[in-house]
């Protein structure tokens, strides 16, 4: 009886080890799939993941002029068709171009004639300021002019407070970005000052700028070269006169057809820019991020190229309409990370193939040993 019991045990063990081998070699199939309707393709089209300058050149059309920034994009602002880009979904710090999202979020929520009392914490903010005075009330309209022309961080904080609080405003800014399909964007400061985790992309800034330019009041602000700020009382009680502010967007002063919209700069973000211009019934929007060059000239050259050749180009992608995009499941090849990813259910660990090979050999060895023992006993 010993031999049959040994044979049964050896056979059972060899079958088990062979099964382990098969599972290890083949692998365990994933239990979780992508959420229904989700996609790994970048918002705007699959070509936007390509490296280098992305453009579909037609015969006789020159390549777009060199752009100094790490990322850029140019698109037809009316149709949303993207003509050229480089790393359009790559995450970068937006600096004061984020004020475009601040204004887009707050203009529909605040009465332009509402008077907002400025507080000391508003004027103590770092970076560029309009020069508004704590203890003085200014209209929403004046503060928006200060926000968009003079890039006033003090105006950004006063406006955010008037919209219940800075925290509420940031939450609404991020909701606005998500509604637009600007999933690369995460706002952490209404002024665009650098904060850990605050990012946007050339693609997202084009979505945000395009949406903002559909608001007549926003378009009026960013196309203005100057505005007036009324006087007020200083902290010492002295009455100070009003003053004029100038638009920081140099393209407005130097490019025929320029209509806005917003530039930005911090040491970490470097130069950032959203620009738009109209000529001959065509309007193009340009976005640039992480540029070492603050000159308006490269932007002007790219706009010239678009006005001259845009109608002959096949688009590389599309600026999506609000509410039309699905948040990507996977990061794009440019390194852009989605704000959040669906959590897949846990799955059992997959055994490595070498485990299966060892198991299979062990089983065969046991069967061989049993056969040898049977032969020896018969002798």
Which residue among the candidates 14, 71, 99, 201 is catalytic per the annotation? Answer: 99
* pTM confidence score: 0.77
- Residue tagged 């007020």 (tokens): 232
Residue where a domain terminates, one of 268, 303, 318: 318
Residue 92 lies inside a defined structural domain of this protein: yes
Enter the tokens of residue 219: 């378009």
**Same structural domain for residues 124 and 10?**
no
**How many structural domains compose the chain?**
2
Q: What is the pLDDT of residues 12-48, one digit of tens each?
A: 444 444 443 433 333 333 322 222 233 568 999 999 9
Per-residue confidence (pLDDT) for residue 40, from 0 to 100: 64
Does 236 participate in catalysis according to the annotation?
A: no
154-158, 247-251, 362-366: least confident range: 362-366
- Residue tagged 């502010």 (tokens): 245
DSSP state for residue 64 in the 8-state scheme: P
Burial class (CB in 10 A: 0-12, 13-18, 19+), 257: middle
Contact 154, 132 (CB under 8 A): yes
Secondary structure (3-state) at 13: helix
Enter the tokens of residue 326: 């699905």
The distance of Cα 331 from the centroid of its chain, to the nearest Å, equals 11
How far apart CA 369 and CA 13 sit, in angstroms, is 13
Does 332 participate in catalysis according to the annotation?
A: no
19-28, 202-211, 327-336: least confident range: 19-28
Q: Does 39 or 180 have the greater pLDDT score?
A: 180
Share the mean pLDDT of the chain.
83
Spell out the residues 6+ positions from residue 9 whose beta carbon is closer than 8 angstroms to its own. Answer: none
How far apart CA 245 and CA 66 sit, in angstroms, is 32
Helix (H) or strand (E) holding 207: helix 202-212
DSSP string covering 98-133: GHHHHHHHHTTTS-TT-EEE--HHHHT-SS------
| pLDDT band at residue 376 under the 50/70/90 scheme | very low
Q: What is the CATH number of the domain that holds 220?
A: 3.40.710.10
**Same structural domain for residues 145 and 181?**
yes
Which residue among the candidates 14, 128, 151, 201 is catalytic per the annotation? Answer: 151
Residue 142 lies inside a defined structural domain of this protein: yes
**Same structural domain for residues 234 and 278?**
yes
Residue 117 lies inside a defined structural domain of this protein: yes
**Same structural domain for residues 18 and 78?**
no
The boundaries of the domain holding residue 260 are 50-318
| pLDDT band at residue 349 under the 50/70/90 scheme | very low
Per-residue confidence (pLDDT) for residue 364, from 0 to 100: 47
**Same structural domain for residues 265 and 222?**
yes
Which residue among the candidates 71, 96, 291, 332 is catalytic per the annotation? Answer: 96
Does 234 participate in catalysis according to the annotation?
A: no
How far apart CA 250 and CA 264 sit, in angstroms, is 12
């Amino acid at each position: 009886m010993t031999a049959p019991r040994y044979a049964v045990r050896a056979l059972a063990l060899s079958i088990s080890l062979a099964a382990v081998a098969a599972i290890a070699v083949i692998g365990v199939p994933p239990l979780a799939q992508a959420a229904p309707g989700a996609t790994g393709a970048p918002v705007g089209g699959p070509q936007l993941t390509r490296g280098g300058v992305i453009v579909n050149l037609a015969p006789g059309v020159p390549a777009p002029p060199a752009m100094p920034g790490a990322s850029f994009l140019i698109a037809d602002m009316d149709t949303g068709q993207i003509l050229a880009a480089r790393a359009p979904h790559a995450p970068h710090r937006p600096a004061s171009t984020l004020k475009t999202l601040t204004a887009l979020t707050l203009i529909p929520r605040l009465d332009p004639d509402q008077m907002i009392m400025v507080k000391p914490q508003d004027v103590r903010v770092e970076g560029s300021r309009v020069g508004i005075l704590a203890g003085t009330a200014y209209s929403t309209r004046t503060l928006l002019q200060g926000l968009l022309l003079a890039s006033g961080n003090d105006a950004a904080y006063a406006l955010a407070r008037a919209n219940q609080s800075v925290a509420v405003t940031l939450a609404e800014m991020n909701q606005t970005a998500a509604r637009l399909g600007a999933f690369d964007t995460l706002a952490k400061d209404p002024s665009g000052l650098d904060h850990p985790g605050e990012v946007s992309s050339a693609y997202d800034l084009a979505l945000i700028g395009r949406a903002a330019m559909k608001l007549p009041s926003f378009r009026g602000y960013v196309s203005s070269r100057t505005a007036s700020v009324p006087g007020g009382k200083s902290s010492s009680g002295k009455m100070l006169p009003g003053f004029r502010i100038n638009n920081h967007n140099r393209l407005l002063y130097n490019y025929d057809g320029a209509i806005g919209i917003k530039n930005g700069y911090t040491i970490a973000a470097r130069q950032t820019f959203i620009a738009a211009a109209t000529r001959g019934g065509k309007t193009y929007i340009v976005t640039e991020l992480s540029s070492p060059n603050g000159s308006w000239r490269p932007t002007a050259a790219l706009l010239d190229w678009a006005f001259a050749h845009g109608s002959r180009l096949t688009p590389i992608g599309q600026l999506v309409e609000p509410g039309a995009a699905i948040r990507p499941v996977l990061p794009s090849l440019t390194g852009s990370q989605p704000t959040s990813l669906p959590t897949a259910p846990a799955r059992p660990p997959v055994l490595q193939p070498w485990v299966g090979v060892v198991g299979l050999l062990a089983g065969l060895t046991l069967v061989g040993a049993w056969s040898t023992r049977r032969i020896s006993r018969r002798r």
